[in-house]
Amino acid sequence: MQLSWLLALSAVLFTIGVIGVLIRRNAIVVFMCVELMLNAVNLTLVAFSSHFGDINGTILVFFSLCVAASEAAVGLAIIIAIFRNNLSVDIGKINLLRW
């Protein structure tokens, strides 16, 4: 298992996440695609950590997991609040702050 294959897999997953963020209009699915991108970057960190035998990458992934958990909680709360006001989670219809 070469390191370059892991990095290539991570790049592909990240790209799928970017495309998902760009083409989906449901805010929750956009959020899930952001989680996909976070996971792709975590995979890169774990791959480097494993191949160098260095534990700092593993610890960084641990902290990134904590940040992802809190981000998910706050983000979903924001989505619920928007849904209460707007009765929609379609990001095309959420245009209160639009210029």
Partner 1 sequence: MVTYLFILFALLSIASAIGVVLNKSAVNSALFLVVNLVALAGIYLLLQAQFLAVIQLLVYAGAIMVLFLFVIMLLNLDNEENIFNKFRFRYGVAFIVGIVILAQLLYSLGSWTDTLPAVSPKMAQVGTVQAVGNVLFTHYLLPFEVTAILLTAAVVGALLVAQRKIQTKE
The contact set with partner 1 (CB under 8 A) reads: 1-9, 11-20, 22-26, 28-29, 31-33, 35-36, 39, 42-43, 46-47, 49-56, 58-59, 61-63, 65-74, 76-81, 83-84, 89-90, 92
The token pair that represents 81 in the structure block: 């609040």
Decide: residue 75, CB within 10 A, 0-12 exposed, 13-18 middle, 19+ buried. Answer: middle
- Which CB atom, from 63 or from 99, has the smaller least distance to partner 1? 63
| Separation of first and last alpha carbons in the chain | 49
Smallest gap from residue 94 Cβ to partner 1 (A): 13
Smallest gap from residue 99 Cβ to partner 1 (A): 19
Taking the C-alpha atoms of residue 32 and residue 37, their distance in angstroms, rounded to an integer, is 9
